[in-house]
Structure 1
Amino acid sequence: MKLGARMLKTGLAVAIALYAASLLGFPSPVFAGIAAIFAIQPSIYRSFQTILEQFQANIIGVGVAMLVVFTLGNDPFVIGFTAILVIGICMYLKMSETTVSLALVAVIAIMESTEMTFVTFAMMRFSALTLGIFSAFLVNLLFLPPKYETKLFQRVDRTTADILQWLRITTRHLSDEPALKGEIKRIQTELRQIDQTYLLFSEERTYLRKNHLSKARKLIVFRQLIATTKKSFDVLKAFHQLDEKIESIPTKFPTALVEELDKVIHSHERLLLSSMGRIKKKHKQTLQDISEPDIPNLVEELIQVYRQDEDNHLIFLPLASQLMEYHHNLQHLQILLKSYQQYHEDEHLEFMKRD
């Protein structure tokens, strides 16, 4: 398991919170560290978004706990009742699970038995929790800012390469069934992670007005890159489900199928390389010159193969549909990339080298 930026930021936020709480003389600096753990967020935008909510949860937890202590005391069953009450309030206000957890930490911290004056004790615990929240916010703001554009393109590039590789193998009936089954499950997980990374990238804010339009166009290109990758995965799954049936088709058609699909895969790869800026502008085949696979004709031939077979004439329609949609997504991606390169000639999508 790799040591990610969020892990490092969590450790740093805890250390800063504990050190600051000790310097300020709080009796239990550990609560500042606990609050820092709950307050760490995966992006700067989410830090801004949640700090107010977490501060409100801290106030709710402390306020309710103080009220209950003054009226009912701090018996363990009373603490449990207070926790239920605070959860209900937070749920009514539609706070996140992490925020609710922080409010519960505040309840337990305040309702602990103490020999100090209760109000002084409560204020010190409240201050320690608040210190932890702001320590995490400071770390999120200043240290190791995430580059979700880079992470997103890396994930899309790697996952697309895996899918296209398996497509080449599967269409030639060379894939191992158990291995492909496992890869399909893994790729599904990767696609969910890609969606989450895209969401985090879309939430990142640009602070210069001139970068707003570029960011908006990048989001559109990335969304289509992801859609095209997902559609290539749908084609892979369709081939996997129909592998044995395709083997029974007359030899001429499977050969044409492989040739046309290779063209589609080649188009997809060239679009990815072009988006990275890896193809020289003067000597490359431009996006307009990418060889066009004749998918509509191929689909028509596919339907003709089983037109006379009443039992099987519809079995290849899902594959035909997926091939057409894949081809249309590639065409749309090509248009978007041409537009992006036209308006941002010296820019390309940020990526990292594969491991």
Structure 2
Amino acid sequence: MKLGARMLKTGIAVTVALYVANLIGLPSATYAGIAAAFAIQPNIYRSFQTVFEQIYANIFGIAIAVAVVYTLGNDPIVIGTTTIMVIGLCLYLKMNENTISLAIIAVLAVMEQSDTGLLELAGLRFSSLSLGVISAFIVNMLFFPPRYEFRLFNHIDHITSDILQWLRISTRHLSDNPSLKGELDRLDAEIAHIDITYSLYSEERIYRKKKRIPKMRKIIIFKQMIATSKKSLETLKTFHHYNERIDTIPHEFQQVLVNELDKIIYSHERLLLSAMGRIKKNRTKPVQDITTPDIPHLVDTLIHVYERDEKYHLSLLPLASRLMEYHHDIIHLQKLLYSYQKFHDKTF
């Protein structure tokens, strides 16, 4: 099992919360530890949001619990009904699952006792829970700050390399269908994980104006990189779907198809290498000057094949269309990278 930064930060936050609670003499320091465990977030922006959200949840959770205990008591049925009411209120306010859980803990922490010293108990529970939330926020900022940009680019580079490798194998009829089917499921899961990482990266805030514009440009480029990788995966799925039909068409079209796809793959690889700074910059020959696929030629060849033999009935035209969409996304990525490299020297 891999020990991630978030797991370590959770342990540190719980430790800090318990130490501080014991140091200042708060009873039931366990509640501070529980709150700290729930409050750890994957980035600083979400952690900042969570501080206020969870403190608000504590306030109305404890307030409702106090009001219910004073009016109806703390019978188990009453506690259960109050819990349902607090959950409904949290959902109405669109709070996340961790915040809802912490609000429920606040309710139970207050309602477990009788009304003897209820207000004092509520204040102590609120202090303990708030201490845990604040401890988690501080730990989130100071320990193991997330490097989502580095992680995101490496993940995109890795997954794209896998897809392009499978595309090369598939076009030459060397792929094993059961193996490829399993890989397609894995690649889908990896792309979904990339989307999550991109969301976390785009949420990060830059407060220095000098760094804000490059960050905004990078967000746009990353978005297009992901879109282009998704198109390459869709192209791989299409080749997998038409694998048996490709064997039946004339060799003339097969050769053109392989050649044009090789050009697209080469273009995609060059763009990633350029983003990493592994390709020498040349202002007279920007990143746009790469091997250019001739997709219209591919479509014309396909149409001529069908004109000579109508039995194919344009069944492979969607494959050519998929390649055109893939190539269009690569062109767009070229423009974005060239624009970024024109104004910023820093690579990804």
Superposition TM-score tier, normalisation by shorter sequence: over 0.9
Correspondence 1:70 to 2:70: yes
Q: Name the residue aligned to 1:261.
A: 261
Distance (whole Å) between structure 1 residues aligned to residue 270 and residue 2 of structure 2: 31
In structure 2, do the counterparts of structure 1 residues 243 and 307 end up closer, same or farther at CA, with 3 Å as the change threshold?
A: same
Distance (whole Å) between structure 2 residues aligned to residue 312 and residue 139 of structure 1: 64
Distance (whole Å) between structure 1 residues aligned to residue 175 and residue 242 of structure 2: 13
Q: Name the residue aligned to 2:183.
A: 183
Cα distance, 1:284 vs. partner? 12
Q: Name the residue aligned to 1:312.
A: 312
- SS at the partner of 2:288? helix
Distance (whole Å) between structure 2 residues aligned to residue 126 and residue 99 of structure 1: 14
Q: Name the residue aligned to 2:237.
A: 237
Distance (whole Å) between structure 2 residues aligned to residue 311 and residue 61 of structure 1: 70
Per-residue CA deviations over 1:217-238 (Å, capped at 9, x if unaligned) read 1111111111111111111000
Q: Name the residue aligned to 1:32.
A: 32
Correspondence 1:330 to 2:330: yes
Q: Name the residue aligned to 1:348.
A: 347
In the alignment, structure 1 segments of 5+ residues that lack a partner are 350-355
Give yes or no for contact 2:74–2:114 (8 Å, CA) kept in 1.
no
Query: Which aligned pairs between 1:75-224 and structure 2 lie closer than 5 A?
Result: 75-113=75-113, 117-224=117-224
Give yes or no for contact 2:32–2:131 (8 Å, CA) kept in 1.
yes
Q: Over the residues paired in the alignment, what is the CA RMSD in angstroms?
A: 1.8
- Structure 2 counterpart of 1:331, which letter? I
Cα distance, 1:28 vs. partner? 1.1
Q: Name the residue aligned to 1:58.
A: 58
Distance (whole Å) between structure 2 residues aligned to residue 288 and residue 237 of structure 1: 27
Distance (whole Å) between structure 1 residues aligned to residue 22 and residue 304 of structure 2: 79
Cα distance, 1:167 vs. partner? 0.1
Per-residue CA deviations over 1:189-212 (Å, capped at 9, x if unaligned) read 111111111111111111211111
Distance (whole Å) between structure 1 residues aligned to residue 312 and residue 125 of structure 2: 72
Cα distance, 1:308 vs. partner? 5.2
Distance (whole Å) between structure 2 residues aligned to residue 92 and residue 231 of structure 1: 38
Give yes or no for contact 2:288–2:335 (8 Å, CA) kept in 1.
no
- Structure 1 counterpart of 2:5, which letter? A
Distance (whole Å) between structure 2 residues aligned to residue 13 and residue 114 of structure 1: 31
% same residue: 60
Correspondence 1:339 to 2:335: no
Give yes or no for contact 1:307–1:313 (8 Å, CA) kept in 2.
no
Distance (whole Å) between structure 2 residues aligned to residue 278 and residue 156 of structure 1: 16
In structure 2, do the counterparts of structure 1 residues 83 and 256 end up closer, same or farther at CA, with 3 Å as the change threshold?
A: same
Cα distance, 1:116 vs. partner? 6.2
Cα distance, 1:324 vs. partner? 0.2
The TM-score with structure 2 as length reference comes to 0.96
Higher alpha-carbon deviation: 21-30 or 334-343: 21-30
- Structure 1 counterpart of 2:84, which letter? I
Q: Name the residue aligned to 1:291.
A: 291
Give yes or no for contact 2:44–2:140 (8 Å, CA) kept in 1.
yes
- SS at the partner of 2:6? helix
Distance (whole Å) between structure 2 residues aligned to residue 161 and residue 92 of structure 1: 44
Q: Name the residue aligned to 1:271.
A: 271
Higher alpha-carbon deviation: 306-315 or 156-165: 306-315
Distance (whole Å) between structure 1 residues aligned to residue 277 and residue 223 of structure 2: 18
Give yes or no for contact 2:224–2:333 (8 Å, CA) kept in 1.
yes
